[in-house]
Every structure is written in structure tokens, then in C-alpha cells.
A and B are shown apart, each in its own frame.
Chain A
Amino acid sequence: MDTFVNLTLNGLATGMMIFLVASGLSLIFGLMGVLNFAHGSIFMAGAYSGVWAYSKTQSFTLALLAGMAVGIVVGYLAELTTVRRVYGKPVAQVLITTGLMLVLNEVLKAVFGPNIIAVSVPPLLAGSWDLGGIIIVKYRIFTIIVGLVVAVAGHFILTRTRIGMIVRAGVQNQEMVQVLAINIRRTFSLVFVSGAALAALGGIMMAPALGAVNPNMGLENQMLAFIVVVIGGMGSFVGSALGGILVGLAGAYTAWVFPEASLAVNVILMAIVLLLKPNGLFGMGGGRNA
């Protein structure tokens, strides 16, 4: 029973962590339909610059802010220079953002070096509580809280605010939003930059949990994020949160039984969802070729 509770807590924390990475992708891909292959690179940019800021200042708050600031700058530049030119052209999007990924990854290596950099959990969040066999790691609880805050805030912004309304309307019919005197391009830039900021936030949150940052973490996490968005369904922020939890739990339980299979289980989970429900569990738009 204790094992089960521990595994569930682990799974929840991992799930929330994946959701943090996926939330940005959920915005950009799920709502704008742009598959950003550089998402993992922005995530990594956030992680690296956060770790750097942490090592300089010993303040995790500053590290979070620095990571997100870098994410915002990188996202803004990427949108301005390239992504803007390929809205509505899916194949070109994949090709262009792949190029961005290559360039960003190399720039990161040039700036921070190609090696693994160790990072520790900030003292305030380090350690764990032992409740009679149930081990509660503080940083995991912190992750779950941050994940919940992002999920609730994102959901609130999308459903209750004017900007959220514009985004949802834009997903359905961009032209018509323009006709209503709204500058959709600016809205999309804003969404893209927010997505980048969330990716970077995911990066700096993930770094202490992994104990280190490395140049391969981008692509791996981007894939997990994509799996989560597909499972949760395009255009559903809450769906992505639930997808994250599902993937986190499935991973945690399999890791206990058969550690080698934990990634396989995600891919298989996605394959099953796509075969049975091509729109994802909570999705609106379809993944299947019409």
C-alpha cells in the first residue's frame, strides 16, 4: 500500500512536470496549430539559463525569472524571424522549426558548453517528509503546486478573459477574428511567446528534479510533451494537464514493474489513443487526415 501511494505521488509529480513542459506546446500546437519543433530547445534554453542564474545568485526565484525571460526573448525572436512566415503551412512549419532547433541547440552548446551541468534542489525545497512509510519529497509537492497553478491560471485565462476568447475564436476562424477588427497576428505572437515562456518554466522546474541539465533533454521532453498534448487532445489546456497526469502515472507504475518499458508505455499509450480517439481524449480538432 505504501509503495502504491509513493508511486502515485511520484507519478503525479512527474505528470505535472511533463504538463509544465507540455502546457506551452498545448498553447502553440493545440491552439494555433503550429507544431514547434524548437519547443524542446526553448525548454532547454530556460533550463540552462535558469541553472546559470541559480549558480550565480543562489536564488531559485531569480533562476525561474531568468529562465522565463530567456524563453520569452528566444520565443519572440523565433516568432518574429521565422515562425510568423509559415502560419497555416504545416509542412513548412515542421521544416522551419527543425532548423530553429538545430541552431538553438548549437548556440546553447556554444554558450554553456556541451557537457552535463549538475544542479541541486534549492535548500528550502530539498528533503522530504516521512509519514509512516509514505515518503513525501518536498520538491515533488512544489512541482504539483506549480503545475496546478499553471493549469488553473491557463484555463481561467482561456475561458474567462477577452484575450482567451480571441484565442479560442482564432483557432476556429482566423479571418473572421480579423474582420471583427482584432489584430490576430499580434494575438498569435503573444500566444507563441507565452508558450515559449511556459516551455522555459518547464525547463528550469525540471532541472533540479533531474539533478542536471544536458544537451539531449530538449528533444526527449518535447516528445513527451507532444505525447501528452495528443493524448489530452488538441486545443484543450485541461486535457493536456490530465494527459500529463496519465502519462506520469503510467510511467511511474511501469517503472516499478519493468523500468525499461517506461518510455515505451507512453508511445503505446499515444498509439492506442490515436487509434481509438484520433482527436485525443478532450480534443476538438482532428489528427486524422480528413
Chain B
Amino acid sequence: MILSLAAVETFIGQFHILQDINLEVPEGGVTVILGRNGAGKTTTLRTIMGLTPPSRGSITYRGKSIKGLPPYAIARKGIGFIPEDQGIFTDLTVEENLLLSTRKKDDETKSRWHMVMDIFPDLKEKLKQKSGGLSGGQKQMLAIARTLLNDNQLLLIDEPSKGLAPIVVARLADVIRELKKHTTVVLVEQNFALALAVGERYIIIDDGSTVKSGVMSELGKNKELQRRYLGITAPSHGGKVV
């Protein structure tokens, strides 16, 4: 297991947001975290990253505990994080956003830079522009590009499809499939079709606890599970499935 969480609890102020999170992420592929709004998916990612440290439980990365480490130390271990709002520094240029991610100036970094420029040709054209002027989709690509510039072995991505047009979402799916070649991905996603398209495994969180996990293709067939935890289908008397 590249990452495991056991009995993790997190408070934000007075709120007991995460109550019992248990999850195992094997090396490689995409693990999707699903669940309703407010179930605690984002907080789970932030807790792994050390942004909202857990009060109880254990978090181990490659067998070593990362609980209680500051976020930058966790990031240095090779864990990348793309928040829901992408975390682009809009006052900085595209190039500066990318440069912030390059910790070394060695040949490997250079080759990664070229690789990123190949995957995202439209970023290459806009290197000198302020990143605030990018479209939503371009910002998402920039955020992903940033994590590819160093040797991240685990990538946490929070709702990348949020607010993107369907055609951009399709491109996003391609990019995530490309990412799989380089790193292990943990994806929080509300867009069930996207989750189904790219994910190998799923974990469902409800009310701050992990309630279900398994293989993605099986969840795709299990309408009852979808309805119960994800609220993505209409009640049975309502006619067609939406």
C-alpha cells in the first residue's frame, strides 16, 4: 500500500468533520473517493496533506507515518495535491507557477519540463502571461502540470471537473489517464461518469466515515449503492434514471 489511513478523525474548530476514515490505496491506478456534498471528501485529502491535521488515527505513506508533519514536509515526500480551486497563483505568470514547483535544477527536472510542455501545448504558448487570465480548463491543466514537474508518486486531486464544460471534462479524462502512467492518483469526484471512466477502485465516504470500498466497475452496476450514498439517481417512482 502506498497510502493507508486508519481510524482517522479530524476536527475543524468545533466540527467533528472526519469521524472514522479508513482507507488503503494500492500503488498505481486511480482510486476515486465518492460521497455526497459535505461528507468529508475534501477534508480527507486535506488531512492527508497535513492542511487540517487529524486529532486521532494513523496516516502512513509507504509504511512510514506522516501524521503531524507540516504540509511542506509531506509534499517533499512526493505527495502532490490539487485543491478544488486549483490553487493557481493568479498574480504570477504561468511560467512562475510552474517554476515554483521545480525544487532542483538537474537534468531530470529539465526533461520533466519538456514532457509537461509536450502534454500541455497550450500552456507553452502562454508561459509569460499572468495565469489569472487563463480559462477554467487551462487553470486545471496548469495545476496538473505543476505536480508533474517533480517526482510525485502520489497525487491527490479534488474535484477537477468542477465548473468545467463537458468538452474540457473529456480532455481532463484523457489527462488523468496519462497521469496514471507516472503516479498513483487519489481522486475526489462528483462527476460520476468521469469517476467511472478513469477510476479502478472507489471509496465512499458518508458523514465523515468511510462506508464502502471496492472495484469501480461493480459500483457502476449497483444502482442501489449509488442512490443510497451518492444521491445521483432519481427515486424509483420518478421514472428514468438521471
A/B: CB atoms within 8 Å of each other: yes
Kindly list chain B residues whose C-beta atoms are within 8 Å of the C-beta of A162: 99
A59 touches B (CB below 8 Å): no
B124 touches A (CB below 8 Å): no
Q: A165-B96, A169-B100, A176-B83 are in contact. Are A181 and B72 (CB under 8 A)?
A: yes
Task: Let me know if B75 and A180 touch, CB within 8 A.
Answer: yes
Task: Name which residue of chain A comes closest to B71, CB basis.
Answer: A178
Q: A165-B100, A166-B100 are in contact. Are A183 and B89 (CB under 8 A)?
A: no
B228 touches A (CB below 8 Å): no
B51 touches A (CB below 8 Å): yes
Alpha-carbon distance A183/B73, docked complex (angstroms):
8
Alpha-carbon distance A22/B146, docked complex (angstroms):
35
Of residues 170 through 187 on chain A, the ones whose CB sits less than 8 Å from some CB of chain B are: 171-173, 175-185
Contact pick for B87, options A165, A176, A181, A182, CB 8 Å: A176
Kindly list chain A residues whose C-beta atoms are within 8 Å of the C-beta of B150: 181
B111 touches A (CB below 8 Å): no
Q: How many residues of A contact B (CB 8 A)?
A: 20
Kindly list chain A residues whose C-beta atoms are within 8 Å of the C-beta of B80: 179
Task: Let me know if B72 and A175 touch, CB within 8 A.
Answer: no
A77 touches B (CB below 8 Å): no
- Chain A, residues 178-211, CB within 8 Å of chain B (1/0): the string is 1111111100000000000000000000000000
Alpha-carbon distance A177/B51, docked complex (angstroms):
11
Of residues 160 through 201 on chain B, the ones whose CB sits less than 8 Å from some CB of chain A are: none
Task: Let me know if A180 and B101 touch, CB within 8 A.
Answer: yes
Q: A180-B101, A181-B103 are in contact. Are A168 and B70 (CB under 8 A)?
A: no
Q: A165-B92, A165-B96, A184-B72 are in contact. Are A179 and B103 (CB under 8 A)?
A: no
Alpha-carbon distance A284/B103, docked complex (angstroms):
28
Alpha-carbon distance A179/B72, docked complex (angstroms):
6
B128 touches A (CB below 8 Å): no
Alpha-carbon distance A168/B91, docked complex (angstroms):
8
Task: Name which residue of chain B comes closest to A175, CB basis.
Answer: B51
CB distance from B78 to the nearest CB of A (A): 9
- Chain B, residues 52-77, CB within 8 Å of chain A (1/0): the string is 00000000000000000011100110
- Chain B, residues 94-106, CB within 8 Å of chain A (1/0): the string is 0010011101000
Kindly list chain B residues whose C-beta atoms are within 8 Å of the C-beta of A166: 100
Contact pick for A183, options B51, B72, B101, CB 8 Å: B72
Task: Let me know if A172 and B72 touch, CB within 8 A.
Answer: no
Q: A176-B87, A178-B70 are in contact. Are A169 and B92 (CB under 8 A)?
A: yes
B49 touches A (CB below 8 Å): yes
Kindly list chain B residues whose C-beta atoms are within 8 Å of the C-beta of A179: 49, 51, 71-72, 75, 80-81, 83, 87
Kindly list chain B residues whose C-beta atoms are within 8 Å of the C-beta of A173: 87, 89
Alpha-carbon distance A169/B90, docked complex (angstroms):
9
Task: Name which residue of chain B comes closest to A172, CB basis.
Answer: B89
A-B CB contact pairs (8 Å), 20 listed: A168-B89, A168-B92, A169-B89, A171-B91, A173-B89, A175-B71, A175-B87, A176-B83, A178-B51, A179-B49, A179-B72, A179-B87, A180-B100, A181-B72, A181-B76, A181-B103, A181-B150, A182-B100, A183-B70, A184-B72
Contacts A169-B92, A176-B89, A184-B72 aside, 11 further interface pairs with beta carbons under 8 A come to A162-B99, A165-B96, A168-B91, A168-B92, A173-B89, A179-B49, A179-B71, A180-B72, A181-B75, A183-B72, A284-B91
- Chain B interfacial positions (CB closer than 8 Å to A): 49, 51, 70-72, 75-76, 80-81, 83, 87, 89-92, 96, 99-101, 103, 146, 150
